[in-house]
Structure 1
Amino acid sequence: MNWRRLWAIVIKELRQMRRDRITLAMIVGIPVIQLVLFGYAINLNLRGLDAGIADQANTAGSRALVMDMLATGVVAPVARADTPQQLMAMIRRGRISIGIAVPPDFERRRIDGRELAQVLVDGSDTTVQGAAAQLAQVPIDSAVPDTRAPMTSTPPGGRISVVSFYNPQRQSAINIVPGLIGVILTMTMVLFTAIAIVRERERGNMELLIATPLTSTELMVGKVLPYIAIGLVQTSVILALGMWLFDVPIRGHVFDVYLAAGLLILGNLSLGLLISTQAQSQFQAMQMTFFVFLPSILLSGFMFPFAGMPKVVQWMAEVLPLTHFLRLIRGVMLRGAGLWEMWTDVLVLAVFTLVMMTLAILRFRKRLD
């Protein structure tokens, strides 16, 4: 063992690492990203869930009850409705997670001691069910003043019921399996195309492509098309196993499921191509893919509740295609919604694909340097 030669190898590796910007970024960036995400962005204590309110009674007592629910901080009002049916339609479209329905005979129910209100919950997200249970603990007597009885009387009690839809048994597989479609497609599709152009350079095929009359657009689109079929096959495998092993339902149209998967596949493939135009080697492409996959799985709402994240982090997560796909796939499979009811997420995925593909085509040059 020659310590001088050994030290020379160590110095050589350190210098090579310093020149490799991607590796250097992973050395510093991964601990920083994980620390920030887990310490700041991820919060299991849900607050500010989007809620719709249908106060059919509209009395002083009903308004006081609703205000007391809002005071818990668990929900934040984003929509008003006239009937519980309208609240259910909003939940199905994914516009709200919780609906508060107060019946028109609220005062009579309060006097009789019957059920005063219902909390309608989107049970396709099990974490929302647990947070909504806190609303049933609102103290009725303090929240609802007795405007009819004398001040010396004690107002009769009442209760708030929580009604969960789409997954009342709180089976985690029903919530996880649809999301797994997006996670697996994100991991594989981005990686496959991220190494596509780099692999051509490393194997010496780029010289042959340079000699052909192919345009940059034709080459990029041709690289993407085969992987669309692969992604749809992966989607079919996950759906079949989810239905067979875990009884995961498909309440919406199967065509909408595949259309949503196709939008995510195109978005991920175009993103992978953009990474491929930047990476100098397949190893670098894999490293850059990791920087996309880590925020996607943590911030999209797959592992941790989206509503528990700070607003700034939510705005960042809106850039990720997996965030919008999760809303689409859970809406179609678990709530029976149609893609046309969630057109904003469809539009975002389409625009994302167009922007990423355009950037990839503009950055790609048919040359070896």
Structure 2
Amino acid sequence: MTSNRAAFARAVRDETRLLLTRPWDAFVAFGLPLILLVVIAAMFAPGVIRQSPAAVVDHDRSSFTRAAVRNMQASSGLDVAYAPATLDEAMALMRQGKIFSFAYFPSGFTAGAFRQPEQATVYFNGAFQTAGALTALNQSAAIASAAAPALEERARQMGVPATALSPPDVQVSIIGNPQLNFELFLGGLLGPGVLHLLAACSAVLAVGRLMQGKSFRPFKIAHGGRTTAALAGHLTPHFLIFTLWGLAWIVWLCGFRGWGVAGSLPLLMLGMAALMAVSVALSALLVAVAGDNDLAFSATAIYSGAAIAFSNGTLPLDHGPRFAQFWSDVLPYTHYLRLQTSQMVTDGAKPAAVHDLLILCAVTLGAFVIAALAIRWRANREPKVEALTFPLPTDSVTGSFAATFVGIVKARPVASLLLLAVVLYAFYYPAAYSGQSATGLPLAVVTSSQTATTRTLVEDLNASHAIEVAAVASSVEEAQNLMKRGVVDGIIVLPDGFETSLARGAPDGVAIYLNGGYLVRVTAIGKAAAGAVADVIRKRLNGLPEVARAASLTPSLKQVSLFNPTEGYGDYAVPAVSIVILQQTLLLGAGVIAAIRRETAAPVLRLRSRLGLWLALTVIGALSSLFYFGFVFWVQDYPRAGDLIGVILLAPLFSAAVSALGLCLGGLFDRHERVLQVLVGTSAPLFFLGGTAWPHFMMPQPLVWLANLFPSTAGVQAFVKMNSTGASLSEVAPEATVLVVLVVIYGLWLLAPDLRTIRQRQVTAQQTSS
């Protein structure tokens, strides 16, 4: 009788042989992770946004505004590429995506700026919030820097001492990521998340091919009844391969890129291994319990594909919708990311990281045990042969068009992608961002004494929507310990005698420490904390007439978020993510149709039938797009219908490109499950390649060319601009042109065999006639 050790060893050998000898298995294990990690590394290598295109509308044309423009041109973060004559021209540039922000100086600004409340305004594109907000911040800093000398001169003329105009310096320190570098933040977020999904998909097919007709009886017989040991053996190569990929990514970020490990490297490595272990164990569980590969892949895409969104790594969910909070706590990736951030970035408390590690290990063990029990149960069942077909007439446009709709309803794997997934993701994914903005983020205030000023500061902080004071500490060490334990995300340190120094006009500095592991939290806490400190200072200065009078002469500067006035994270992320969802569901659905026909040796479709199939999928994709841009965006109140006619005209073009690509790719796979195994893991990188969260001008040009091979890249740019900014079809002409080119390229690829046949027949006919 076979021993457990022998069954385990045999399963390891069998699975390893498959991974090394079957091309698609080898590609998923070795080729695809390398490709995606290289893309992620190249995409975020610049780290910090520099030379962001901006504009200045200068109706004042004064020495002050010229100084402000010089400061902008000297800033490494700005490229003042345009000087439009009017606000309308500047808005048109923004709608076209040529600039991300512009400063507006009204006529007579300088003449009134130091005598009456006049205002300069910096407008930024809130639909592309990452680049827009950072560009606006740099323009605002340049304007403020130009104003300082003029204000000092005006105060001197009034006889106000320079010290009286000096507010306390606010020193902001970012713990773990002082440069606010996106390579560390997004690279650390996206790399492990993609590997988590790839490992899960690879393991689904590994366990799924052990099952025949919803039964594991042949698997049980082959391994002498030692199904549990054999299951562990089949999962082990996938666990080891993707763990090594994860460790390689850590070496890349922390070693070659020089980010280092702030905490415990062994604990970080164990966390990566635990993430891959739970990935393969949950895959085994889903296959064994569902008894269906397609259903297991769908469940994997749901829990792992959206894990990054629900991980608290982007928009924090601490005070978000209850479902989002619950689902975030359930997902394994949330616990891994918390462990990684604490040990890689911020040197967090090790007991908290160990707690997350133990959770991952417990879920792995539980999932594996339940999977093993379910396999034993299914091993007692007789296999049931299930016929999976997608019949189409071989030479009829209308027949193939109509049969496609019938086939979608009857073929469960296709229906789940083109119908159920479209509806499910319309409401599931946005749930992570329904809170729109970071709220209730915990903060600690360090003060040695409770004074009226410190009490006012605490009240102002608690009044902020973004943050709340979770603790008032007596020492920096006490507050830093709270941050390491994850109790607070930021610290404000008020120096001894702060109120006294403020009153005498020579205030000491205020220190603000922020957790650099989560850039969205840093932004929210930093803005709220700085605003509260400034408000306390303003209230105190109101008691000093000369100082208040001089301070009121400062030029007023306002930032305005266009196309996303609330600066909501959902209003910024969901419109772009929706394009990727629409592409992936249609791409996978079309690919599965083509793969099913190849898998079942269905008759080859001629030109007319291929056209009918392509047309039907294009109609389905266009209707799905309009369902999102119309009904879904309306229900969830996302930006929509800025140019409704343009959206209606462009949706079929986008769908035609996607469906043609899906049909072409699907024909390459030996079985329909391969479509999901290979393509599901590309979703998150494709979102970032779309250029909303990370702008194209910061990516290497060859990578931008590669990104444009996917319809989602031009689709994201075009539909976000039309839905959110109101851009017209003519203003998104470059993106529309890309989609037209893709339709032609992928259409020719799809129809190439038939076109060659037609050409050969024409040549033969000419030779016969001659």
TM-score (normalised: structure 2): 0.42
- For 1:58, the equivalent position in structure 2 comes to 61
Question: Taking structure 1 as reference, are residues 94 and 308 closer, same or farther at Cα in structure 2, changes over 3 Å only?
Answer: closer
* Matched ranges for 1:220-231 at <5 A: 220-231=610-621
The whole-number CA distance in structure 2 between the counterparts of 1:166 and 1:93 is 13
Question: Taking structure 1 as reference, are residues 91 and 293 closer, same or farther at Cα in structure 2, changes over 3 Å only?
Answer: same
The whole-number CA distance in structure 2 between the counterparts of 1:314 and 1:114 is 45
Q: Does 1:321 align with 2:686?
A: no
Q: Give the AA of the match of 2:125.
A: D
Q: Shift of the alpha carbon at 1:251?
A: 4.3
Q: Shift of the alpha carbon at 1:283?
A: 2.9
Match of 1:41 among 40, 43, 46: 43
Contact 1:296 1:322 (C-alpha < 8 Å) held by counterparts: yes
- For 1:184, the equivalent position in structure 2 comes to 581
The whole-number CA distance in structure 2 between the counterparts of 1:33 and 1:296 is 13
Question: Taking structure 1 as reference, are residues 253 and 310 closer, same or farther at Cα in structure 2, changes over 3 Å only?
Answer: closer
Contact 1:109 1:116 (C-alpha < 8 Å) held by counterparts: no
Between the aligned residues of both structures, percent identity stands at: 22
Contact 2:711 2:742 (C-alpha < 8 Å) held by counterparts: yes
- For 1:169, the equivalent position in structure 2 comes to 566
Question: Taking structure 1 as reference, are residues 61 and 5 closer, same or farther at Cα in structure 2, changes over 3 Å only?
Answer: closer
Secondary structure at the residue paired with 2:127? Answer: coil
- For 2:736, the equivalent position in structure 1 comes to 346
Q: Shift of the alpha carbon at 1:292?
A: 4.8
Q: Shift of the alpha carbon at 1:268?
A: 0.9
Contact 1:46 1:307 (C-alpha < 8 Å) held by counterparts: no
CA offsets 1:138-163 (integer angstroms, 9 cap, x no match):
363546766xx89x869964243212
Secondary structure at the residue paired with 2:122? Answer: strand
Q: Give the AA of the match of 1:52.
A: A
The whole-number CA distance in structure 2 between the counterparts of 1:85 and 1:236 is 29
- For 1:202, the equivalent position in structure 2 comes to 599
Contact 2:127 2:572 (C-alpha < 8 Å) held by counterparts: yes
The whole-number CA distance in structure 1 between the counterparts of 2:22 and 2:80 is 49
* Matched ranges for 1:23-34 at <5 A: 23-34=25-36
Question: Taking structure 1 as reference, are residues 168 and 286 closer, same or farther at Cα in structure 2, changes over 3 Å only?
Answer: same
Match of 2:72 among 69, 83, 100: 69
Aligned-pair RMSD on alpha carbons? 3.2
Question: What are structure 1's unaligned runs of at least 5 residues?
Answer: none
* Matched ranges for 1:3-18 at <5 A: 7-18=9-20
The whole-number CA distance in structure 2 between the counterparts of 1:201 and 1:33 is 26
Moved more, 268-277 or 346-355: 268-277
Contact 2:577 2:687 (C-alpha < 8 Å) held by counterparts: no
Secondary structure at the residue paired with 1:118? Answer: strand
Q: Give the AA of the match of 1:241.
A: V
- For 1:100, the equivalent position in structure 2 comes to 103
* Matched ranges for 1:112-191 at <5 A: 112=115, 114-115=117-118, 117-131=120-134, 132-138=136-142, 140=144, 142=146, 157-191=554-588
Q: Shift of the alpha carbon at 1:97?
A: 1.6
Contact 1:224 1:270 (C-alpha < 8 Å) held by counterparts: yes
Match of 1:193 among 573, 576, 590: 590
Question: Taking structure 1 as reference, are residues 183 and 141 closer, same or farther at Cα in structure 2, changes over 3 Å only?
Answer: closer
Contact 1:113 1:157 (C-alpha < 8 Å) held by counterparts: no
Q: Shift of the alpha carbon at 1:31?
A: 3.8
- For 1:280, the equivalent position in structure 2 comes to 670
* Matched ranges for 1:242-253 at <5 A: 242-244=633-635, 246-253=636-643
Match of 1:81 among 79, 84, 88: 84
The whole-number CA distance in structure 1 between the counterparts of 2:99 and 2:27 is 39
Q: Give the AA of the match of 1:311.
A: P
The whole-number CA distance in structure 1 between the counterparts of 2:658 and 2:7 is 46
Secondary structure at the residue paired with 2:584? Answer: helix
Secondary structure at the residue paired with 2:566? Answer: coil
Contact 2:626 2:651 (C-alpha < 8 Å) held by counterparts: no
Secondary structure at the residue paired with 1:52? Answer: strand
Contact 2:561 2:567 (C-alpha < 8 Å) held by counterparts: no
- For 1:311, the equivalent position in structure 2 comes to 700
- For 2:624, the equivalent position in structure 1 comes to 234
How many residues are matched? Answer: 354
TM-score (normalised: structure 1): 0.82
Contact 1:182 1:261 (C-alpha < 8 Å) held by counterparts: no
Contact 1:68 1:143 (C-alpha < 8 Å) held by counterparts: no
Secondary structure at the residue paired with 1:195? Answer: helix
- For 1:300, the equivalent position in structure 2 comes to 690
Question: Taking structure 1 as reference, are residues 157 and 262 closer, same or farther at Cα in structure 2, changes over 3 Å only?
Answer: same
The whole-number CA distance in structure 1 between the counterparts of 2:689 and 2:586 is 19
Q: Shift of the alpha carbon at 1:321?
A: 1.8
- For 2:442, the equivalent position in structure 1 comes to none
Contact 1:196 1:223 (C-alpha < 8 Å) held by counterparts: no
Q: Give the AA of the match of 1:255.
A: I
Contact 1:48 1:307 (C-alpha < 8 Å) held by counterparts: no
Contact 1:306 1:314 (C-alpha < 8 Å) held by counterparts: no
Moved more, 112-121 or 167-176: 112-121
Question: Taking structure 1 as reference, are residues 328 and 220 closer, same or farther at Cα in structure 2, changes over 3 Å only?
Answer: same
Question: What are structure 2's unaligned runs of at least 5 residues?
Answer: 159-549, 758-770
Q: Which has the larger radius of gyration?
A: 2
Question: Taking structure 1 as reference, are residues 69 and 159 closer, same or farther at Cα in structure 2, changes over 3 Å only?
Answer: farther
The whole-number CA distance in structure 2 between the counterparts of 1:61 and 1:195 is 63
- For 1:264, the equivalent position in structure 2 comes to 654
Q: Give the AA of the match of 1:337.
A: A
Contact 2:19 2:29 (C-alpha < 8 Å) held by counterparts: no
The whole-number CA distance in structure 2 between the counterparts of 1:128 and 1:196 is 39
Q: Shift of the alpha carbon at 1:347?
A: 0.6
